[in-house]
Structure 1
């Protein structure tokens, strides 16, 4: 394989994104370098570089959390999930597949909050590609056993709905996936926002993921121990999150776009252009949204055939 990061076009961009992903931020403390999962007054939230966690970033920026919230960023799903499994974080913004994988293995977790994100199919630099049909037998970047894997397989079908062949290229880290698109090493990949918009700003062509395959597929997964032992911190988080949703709806983006710049590493000029979903206050994920993903997982042998995800989706406070 060609060496990565040869392309001068986006070398500096990827370096800056990777540097940003290594930064830990704390809403109330500048010296919070160790995990705070043992401190009942703190919550640590693991996130990936995507707009799913923008309300958390805005709440942090605006000081809406009355208790300390540590935002811990990861560059790959594997790193994020490992942190939750080992107790390094109290909760993670994750896709429903990641949540069910952990739950099916017996990890005591709950999915009480639905998140809103955004994804687009991005085509490689210099490729004469413009539609899903053009991707037959092409090289597609993804990470296995993730929501992107599911959405890619479901999206790459012909007019009759029959899957067509393509070459899977395993690329765990999203910034590297973007770099490989920019250098022409990949023909296409589904990228979350803001990376899709960053790619478009570099001349890459993007289209919507078909059939809303990436709509309603992410949420906030909590360790049950954190919900039980950190009730006040969780309450503070929910209140701050809801305040951020209201603030974003009532104020122009210019007043809170710095959260996109600071916590997502997005250039200022792009922070105002990224298409954003309609964010909602804390609400339960819809069980129906999990089912097609669960069936795909069963067909792949990722979870037992008897697994139903029962008990995974439940409110923080009983209704």
Structure 2
């Protein structure tokens, strides 16, 4: 079992770098297929993460038939708050966040599975080479999130028991990366592009055990938007599929600018960034909810009776 989270004060330099990186990926709203003065058919929240890349490329290349406005957020909390208040029609989110929102009464659906990227990053301690070496070490995470879930699932003994470790609460990913570099953390699971950035800084990056965090994100939409804006939803999904086909058929050098703009990283890093195996839109496999939901119940994040009923609707006809 993990101990209670331990809060540590990051160095001023860590905070400065974190704020700079965060500012680097923020910008004004992007629009796709939208004319001046025209109300967007859909408004989507996006973040600097690789699972949003097909949507960003679809917007930039005009693959959406209806206008889609992309609104940038700097943290999952801001994104989820926008969903809760109806400030956006939807966003890509992880299954845990979607189930948390639904369990609290938010009427949302997850019609499309998406692909994200997460890897484990070791700090500068050269004695740490295997997952088992992290027993008792300081691991950066954000409590009650899919990162905490993945950390506990990854750090297990050969007998399948969670290895004890000291969780260090660090919600901002850029600061988590800097604390790894400064030696304040022994390891942390980071999303892309931060895992690749860590590798460029000389930190060791490894893939997580199969199945832990491969199928955890999807496109979440307000149920009302999904039901009343069906033509725009169909346009969104078709544009998403067009973007993936474009990425698969076109050298990365031709769309590297989209990565740079979305993620706020240098072109040379964008060219070597490990991207997911993007797939055309399919419905989420609800069997992937089960281990996450079981963990959420052990943490008392959702009622024991909660079953995520109705979270995944039928995929709309794209013809």
1:241-256 to 2 correspondence within 5 Å? 241-256=240-255
Alignment-derived partner of residue 295 in structure 2: 296
SS, match of residue 219 in structure 2: strand
Query: Residue 20 in 1 paired to residue 20 in 2?
Result: no
Query: Residue 6 in 1 paired to residue 13 in 2?
Result: yes
Using a 3 Å threshold, how does the CA distance of structure 1 residues 3 and 190 change in structure 2: closer, same or farther? Answer: closer
Using a 3 Å threshold, how does the CA distance of structure 1 residues 4 and 46 change in structure 2: closer, same or farther? Answer: farther
Deviation of 1:15 after TM superposition, in Å, equals 4.5
TM-score, with normalisation over the residues of structure 1? 0.91
Structure-1 separation of matches of 2:83 and 2:161: 37
SS, match of residue 58 in structure 1: helix
Structure-2 separation of matches of 1:311 and 1:297: 18
Structure-1 separation of matches of 2:270 and 2:162: 36
Alignment-derived partner of residue 4 in structure 2: none
Q: C-alpha deviations, 1:101-145, integer Å up to 9, x for none?
A: 111111110000100011100012355322111111111111111
Q: C-alpha deviations, 1:160-192, integer Å up to 9, x for none?
A: 211121111111111111121122111111001
TM-score, with normalisation over the residues of structure 2? 0.91
* Alignment length (residue pairs): 310
SS, match of residue 211 in structure 1: coil
1:182-197 to 2 correspondence within 5 Å? 182-197=181-196
SS, match of residue 6 in structure 1: helix
With 195-204 and 121-130 compared, the bigger mean Cα shift is at 121-130
Alignment-derived partner of residue 257 in structure 1: 256
Q: C-alpha deviations, 1:211-261, integer Å up to 9, x for none?
A: 331101100110011112322322221121111011111111111111110
- What CA RMSD, in Å, does the superposition of the two structures yield over aligned residues? 2.2
1:1-319 to 2 correspondence within 5 Å? 1-6=8-13, 14-28=18-32, 39=39, 41-126=40-125, 128-317=127-316
SS, match of residue 313 in structure 2: coil
Using a 3 Å threshold, how does the CA distance of structure 1 residues 5 and 199 change in structure 2: closer, same or farther? Answer: farther
Structure-2 separation of matches of 1:265 and 1:223: 28
Deviation of 1:156 after TM superposition, in Å, equals 1.0
5+ unaligned residues in a row in structure 1: which ranges? none
Structure-2 separation of matches of 1:111 and 1:285: 7
Structure-1 separation of matches of 2:249 and 2:116: 20
Q: Contact 1:24–1:71 at 8 Å: present in 2 too?
A: no
Deviation of 1:76 after TM superposition, in Å, equals 2.3
Alignment-derived partner of residue 5 in structure 2: none
